[in-house]
Amino acid sequence: MTEAEARETAKTLMLMAASELAVGRLYMACAKADDDRREVWERIAGAERNHAKWIEAMAGMLLARNGEGFRIGRKFEPKAVEAFTDEVRKNEADVQTGAIKGRVMYMIARGIEAALLEDRFFEFVATEDEEYKKLVTRIVTETRQHQTLMQAWVKAAGA
Protein backbone atom coordinates (compact mmCIF):
# COMPACT_ATOMS: atom_id res chain seq x y z
CA MET A 1 0.00 0.00 0.00
CA THR A 2 1.07 3.59 -0.44
CA GLU A 3 2.54 5.67 2.34
CA ALA A 4 -0.73 7.61 2.62
CA GLU A 5 -2.70 4.37 2.88
CA ALA A 6 -0.28 3.15 5.53
CA ARG A 7 -0.92 6.28 7.60
CA GLU A 8 -4.70 5.88 7.25
CA THR A 9 -4.55 2.20 8.09
CA ALA A 10 -2.34 2.84 11.10
CA LYS A 11 -4.95 5.33 12.34
CA THR A 12 -7.66 2.69 12.05
CA LEU A 13 -5.44 0.21 13.87
CA MET A 14 -5.05 2.71 16.71
CA LEU A 15 -8.85 2.95 16.91
CA MET A 16 -8.92 -0.84 17.15
CA ALA A 17 -6.34 -0.73 19.93
CA ALA A 18 -8.60 1.72 21.76
CA SER A 19 -11.54 -0.64 21.38
CA GLU A 20 -9.51 -3.52 22.85
CA LEU A 21 -8.66 -1.28 25.80
CA ALA A 22 -12.36 -0.46 26.22
CA VAL A 23 -13.14 -4.19 26.26
CA GLY A 24 -10.43 -4.63 28.90
CA ARG A 25 -12.04 -1.95 31.05
CA LEU A 26 -15.46 -3.54 30.59
CA TYR A 27 -14.06 -6.86 31.81
CA MET A 28 -12.51 -5.19 34.85
CA ALA A 29 -15.99 -3.86 35.67
CA CYS A 30 -17.32 -7.41 35.18
CA ALA A 31 -14.62 -8.67 37.57
CA LYS A 32 -15.93 -6.35 40.28
CA ALA A 33 -19.52 -7.37 39.61
CA ASP A 34 -18.90 -11.13 39.48
CA ASP A 35 -16.92 -12.22 42.52
CA ASP A 36 -16.99 -15.96 41.72
CA ARG A 37 -15.26 -15.35 38.42
CA ARG A 38 -13.24 -12.29 39.35
CA GLU A 39 -9.83 -13.79 38.63
CA VAL A 40 -10.83 -15.09 35.22
CA TRP A 41 -12.30 -11.73 34.25
CA GLU A 42 -9.08 -10.04 35.35
CA ARG A 43 -7.05 -12.46 33.29
CA ILE A 44 -9.03 -11.86 30.11
CA ALA A 45 -9.00 -8.11 30.75
CA GLY A 46 -5.21 -8.46 30.77
CA ALA A 47 -5.38 -10.30 27.46
CA GLU A 48 -7.36 -7.40 25.95
CA ARG A 49 -4.71 -4.96 27.14
CA ASN A 50 -2.10 -7.14 25.45
CA HIS A 51 -4.14 -7.11 22.25
CA ALA A 52 -4.15 -3.31 22.35
CA LYS A 53 -0.35 -3.31 22.71
CA TRP A 54 0.10 -5.75 19.85
CA ILE A 55 -2.21 -3.78 17.57
CA GLU A 56 -0.22 -0.64 18.37
CA ALA A 57 2.92 -2.59 17.44
CA MET A 58 1.25 -3.61 14.16
CA ALA A 59 0.48 0.04 13.40
CA GLY A 60 4.13 0.81 14.18
CA MET A 61 5.31 -1.79 11.68
CA LEU A 62 3.12 -0.34 8.93
CA LEU A 63 4.43 3.15 9.56
CA ALA A 64 8.06 2.07 9.93
CA ARG A 65 7.92 0.37 6.53
CA ASN A 66 5.82 3.06 4.87
CA GLY A 67 3.28 0.43 3.89
CA GLU A 68 5.79 -1.63 1.94
CA GLY A 69 4.91 -5.32 2.05
CA PHE A 70 1.36 -4.56 3.21
CA ARG A 71 -1.86 -4.45 1.19
CA ILE A 72 -5.39 -3.36 2.01
CA GLY A 73 -7.01 -6.71 2.86
CA ARG A 74 -10.64 -5.73 2.95
CA LYS A 75 -12.38 -2.40 2.93
CA PHE A 76 -12.79 -1.19 6.45
CA GLU A 77 -14.84 1.58 7.97
CA PRO A 78 -13.10 3.35 10.88
CA LYS A 79 -16.52 4.64 11.99
CA ALA A 80 -17.57 1.04 12.64
CA VAL A 81 -14.68 0.66 15.08
CA GLU A 82 -15.65 3.85 16.90
CA ALA A 83 -19.30 2.76 17.12
CA PHE A 84 -18.16 -0.57 18.53
CA THR A 85 -16.05 1.17 21.18
CA ASP A 86 -18.95 3.46 22.15
CA GLU A 87 -21.17 0.42 22.63
CA VAL A 88 -18.56 -1.27 24.82
CA ARG A 89 -18.28 1.86 26.98
CA LYS A 90 -22.06 1.89 27.43
CA ASN A 91 -21.90 -1.74 28.48
CA GLU A 92 -19.20 -0.89 31.01
CA ALA A 93 -21.39 1.83 32.53
CA ASP A 94 -24.34 -0.59 32.71
CA VAL A 95 -22.22 -3.22 34.45
CA GLN A 96 -21.05 -0.61 36.94
CA THR A 97 -24.61 0.39 37.83
CA GLY A 98 -25.76 -3.22 37.94
CA ALA A 99 -28.17 -2.71 35.02
CA ILE A 100 -26.31 -5.54 33.29
CA LYS A 101 -25.28 -8.60 35.27
CA GLY A 102 -25.22 -12.39 35.36
CA ARG A 103 -26.23 -14.22 32.23
CA VAL A 104 -26.86 -11.03 30.24
CA MET A 105 -23.35 -9.87 31.09
CA TYR A 106 -21.91 -13.12 29.76
CA MET A 107 -24.02 -12.83 26.63
CA ILE A 108 -22.76 -9.33 25.99
CA ALA A 109 -19.16 -10.43 26.42
CA ARG A 110 -19.79 -13.36 24.09
CA GLY A 111 -21.31 -10.95 21.55
CA ILE A 112 -18.29 -8.65 21.76
CA GLU A 113 -15.83 -11.47 21.13
CA ALA A 114 -18.02 -12.78 18.30
CA ALA A 115 -18.25 -9.34 16.71
CA LEU A 116 -14.47 -8.99 16.75
CA LEU A 117 -14.18 -12.29 14.91
CA GLU A 118 -17.14 -11.89 12.55
CA ASP A 119 -16.28 -8.35 11.51
CA ARG A 120 -12.77 -9.66 10.94
CA PHE A 121 -11.30 -6.56 12.51
CA PHE A 122 -7.92 -8.16 12.21
CA GLU A 123 -8.02 -8.97 8.52
CA PHE A 124 -8.21 -5.61 6.86
CA VAL A 125 -4.48 -5.62 6.29
CA ALA A 126 -2.99 -8.31 4.07
CA THR A 127 0.69 -9.08 4.34
CA GLU A 128 3.23 -11.85 4.19
CA ASP A 129 5.09 -10.29 7.09
CA GLU A 130 5.61 -13.12 9.60
CA GLU A 131 5.87 -10.90 12.64
CA TYR A 132 2.65 -9.07 11.79
CA LYS A 133 0.82 -12.29 10.97
CA LYS A 134 1.97 -13.89 14.23
CA LEU A 135 0.39 -11.06 16.22
CA VAL A 136 -2.87 -11.31 14.27
CA THR A 137 -2.98 -15.07 14.86
CA ARG A 138 -2.43 -14.65 18.60
CA ILE A 139 -5.21 -12.07 18.86
CA VAL A 140 -7.66 -14.16 16.83
CA THR A 141 -6.82 -17.33 18.79
CA GLU A 142 -7.32 -15.66 22.16
CA THR A 143 -10.48 -13.91 21.00
CA ARG A 144 -11.87 -17.29 19.96
CA GLN A 145 -10.94 -18.71 23.38
CA HIS A 146 -12.75 -15.83 25.10
CA GLN A 147 -15.81 -16.41 22.96
CA THR A 148 -15.82 -20.13 23.87
CA LEU A 149 -15.43 -19.31 27.55
CA MET A 150 -18.32 -16.84 27.47
CA GLN A 151 -20.44 -19.38 25.63
CA ALA A 152 -19.79 -21.85 28.47
CA TRP A 153 -20.71 -19.23 31.08
CA VAL A 154 -23.94 -18.36 29.26
CA LYS A 155 -24.83 -22.05 29.24
CA ALA A 156 -23.89 -22.56 32.88
CA ALA A 157 -26.10 -19.61 33.84
CA GLY A 158 -29.10 -21.46 32.41
CA ALA A 159 -31.55 -20.85 29.61
CB of 78 vs Fe ion, minimal distance in Å: 20
Q: Which is nearer to Fe ion, 80 or 140 (CB)?
A: 140
CB of 30 vs Fe ion, minimal distance in Å: 12
Residue 74, burial from CB neighbour count under 10 angstroms (0-12, 13-18, 19+): exposed
Residues in contact with Fe ion by CB under 5 A are 143, 146
Q: Which is nearer to Fe ion, 8 or 142 (CB)?
A: 142
Determine the Cα angle at 21 with ends 151 and 23, to 5°.
25
Closest residue to Fe ion using C-beta atoms: 146
Within 10 Å of residue 31's Cβ, how many Cβ atoms? 19
Q: Which is nearer to Fe ion, 57 or 72 (CB)?
A: 57
CB of 24 vs Fe ion, minimal distance in Å: 9
Query: What does the radius of gyration of the chain's CA atoms come to, in whole angstroms?
Result: 16
